[in-house]
Amino acid sequence: MRGIKFCLNAALLGSVIHAQDILQPLVVTGQREEEREGNVEVERIEAERVSELLGQVPSLSVVATDSAGFGDTLAVRGTANTLFFGGAGVALVVDDVPFGDVYTYSTEFFDLESFTLHRGPQGSRFARNGPGGLIELKTLGPTETPEYGFSAEYGSFDSLNLRFRASGPLDERWAYTFQSYYKRRNGFIENTNPAVGGFNDDREQFGALGSLYYTPSADLEVRFRALYEGTRDGSQRLTGLPGVASDFGAFVDSSRAQDFFEVNSDLEGETEIDRLQFSLHLDQDLGWARLKSITSYQTWELSPNTVDLDLTAFPITTSSINQEQDVWGQEFRLESDESADLRWRAGLAYLRRDSEGDAERAFPFEIPGVGAFNSVQTTIFEIEEESVALFGNLEWDASERTRVELGGRLEYVENSVRRLQVDSGDFPSVSPTIRDQRNDFFFTPSLGLRYAVTDEATLFARTSTSFKPQGFTAFSNNAEQTRFDEEFAWETEVGLRYESADDELAFELRGYYKRIDDYQLNTTVPNSTDFIIVNADRVTAFGVEAELLWKPVEAFSLQATAGWNEIEFDDHTGLNGDDLSGNDVPFIPEFTASLTARYDFQRGFYLQAGVRAVGQTFFEEGNQSDFSQGSYEVWDAQLGYEAENWNAAIFIRNAFDEEYFSFVNSQIAAGSPGDPQVLGVRLGLEF
């Protein structure tokens, strides 16, 4: 109930987006449904996963570990997920189907009708709780006549990307959509150990999405949807940080390869993930409102993820994780007529997440005066979370120029843990089984205002609260340290949106301030192998976001985006007693920006080029420079041709071969290098 107290108290993004699409929608104030056409055309910017939007969308932070999403961190305006066991800071909803934890998010984008990043708390508007923001994807619906599409891309590292889609009616009442992709490439990282050799981080992925539509009457539509994705990756893209000392000691550090794209490992490593999802959608027009029901189930399995943690030719320390998560969801939603002066949305949502797995860590240790020994620790766990939520949002056009929004979410969350650890090394042992259960109610309101100063300029403001529920982590032998508390935030934002009548100039400027109490973050317990979630007492965040499009002539467009923030621990003490107040919150860059130009020649040819920039990012709460990534820029360009039924292009990504780490692990002094320079060609057909 603390939420009530709170309330009382361009880069590529611009290089290929059409001018009329850049600033749609005004995602911060809960706009009308017909205005919500999506604010990112991911297909045109060649983004095929969320991680490729870093630097392109203000306030969206993405840390990719190169394990097909496992261990990734997503954040909007400072609210983020922890690596394995905490709740999502940025929720994901695809075709109204909610996803569970961030590590289970869909690996690739399918062909989309729209991509919308809703910034700020979204608990009053969606079944899935979105404390920091929510990513809403809508895939392509059925076409009135049979249509087919195919694209093929080939490039450096023997990379191949094939996509196919089909859509159309089956008879007067039945229709379908289907799309699939197949991707593969050779590895970027060379293993210089002659006993293993080669490039061990090859990638291969397959996905398919199909929907069957049944329309028995004009006021009822039924949709059955099925999705499968499979990932068969080699070793995680992980290399040692050159010149940085690790906890393994000087011998291990001297045995590591020192090149950005080289390892000297005794283990090839692998990551295998399967995702299967089913959903049933009912959409009934009741006359006075629309009733929607979405029933969904997803099973996600990681089996296994194996990593050589020391990155040397010696069998010193390894990690192997097998993990599963099942997610059941049921939503009932009522929506009013979107053309009315008073519009509302109300819903009831149920979500259950069951996670289980086993994680094995093998490592040596020494007892002074006795000798060296080996430990093989296997953690076996089950974590369950169940929630029921009532949510509602009201919009009222108080006048021709004024719109008021009022929303709220009431949610009950219950979670439990069962965990034990077995050591099968030189000193076999079994730890006591940890069993625990917690539950609580949460209420989070929101209030927004939008005022049209002129027909071209609009001012908006919104204040809202959010929560991430309490929970458990499995990677600790201490029963008290398996627990972490709920996180609460209060966010206020204001902004200005301008669109000229002739569509020549458009921009949006937003500012926000946010206070987060009991911020959830990962940390390592000193003098142990435990990796837990703790609550920092207070985090403060404020920032500015901007998007600009200028189209002086029909053939030329220039676009820029920028986001700057200061997100710091206002009050936080580390487990070792250090005062970390004033430090930057890890995994969030201090700024992102993009600038892109596109010129469309006559007869279908076009040329585009752009740069995206990412500011300094720390990867641990102590803000040590050794475990940070400095500012970097990535340039991309392409020359293409577009005809009515086909298109072709040659492209270059990371044109200047910029070297940077997308993720850094401070425990093992290693990181995941970003993609190197890639050259390629692409051909697309539609018929």
CATH class of the domain comprising 2-364+372-686: mainly beta
What residue has token string 């600033």? Answer: 23
- Quick one: tokens of 30? 């809960």
| Interatomic CA distance for residues 50 and 649, integer angstroms | 23
Q: Amino acid identity of 111?
A: D
- Quick one: tokens of 475? 């990677």
Specify whether the CB–CB gap between 260 and 230 falls below 8 A: no
Task: Count the neighbouring beta carbons within 10 Å of the beta carbon of residue 425.
Answer: 16
- Quick one: tokens of 641? 């041709």
| Interatomic CA distance for residues 535 and 470, integer angstroms | 10
- In this prediction, residue 386 carries a pLDDT of 97
- In this prediction, residue 42 carries a pLDDT of 65
> What does the CA dihedral 26, 596, 12, 501 come to, rounded to 10 degrees?
30
Specify whether the CB–CB gap between 677 and 653 falls below 8 A: yes
- In this prediction, residue 29 carries a pLDDT of 30
On the CB side of 268, how many CA atoms lie within 13 Å of its CA? 14
What residue has token string 């261990």? Answer: 71
Strands 402-423 and 371-397: antiparallel
CA dihedral over 626, 632, 638, 642, signed as positive or negative: positive
Q: List residues bridging with 60 in a β-sheet.
A: 76
- Quick one: tokens of 213? 């539509």
The rounded average pLDDT for each run of 10 residues, N- to C-terminus, in the chain (687 residues) is 37 28 35 45 71 89 92 95 92 96 91 91 95 94 96 97 97 97 96 92 96 96 97 94 87 90 93 97 96 98 94 93 97 93 96 96 86 91 97 95 97 96 91 95 97 96 97 92 96 96 92 97 88 96 94 92 96 94 96 93 93 95 95 96 95 96 93 96 95
Q: Amino acid identity of 167?
A: S
What residue has token string 């939520």? Answer: 389
Q: Any idea where the domains of the chain sit in the sequence?
A: 2-364+372-686
Q: Phi, psi (5° rounding) for residue 446?
A: -150, 155
| Interatomic CA distance for residues 438 and 383, integer angstroms | 12
Specify whether the CB–CB gap between 583 and 621 falls below 8 A: yes
What residue has token string 């973050």? Answer: 521
- Quick one: tokens of 403? 């719109």
What residue has token string 């953690």? Answer: 379
Residue 466: closest CA among 494, 493, 484, 487: 487
Which residues, other chains included, contact 532 with Cβ-Cβ below 8 Å and sequence gap of 6+?
473, 475, 476, 481, 482, 484, 522, 523, 524, 525
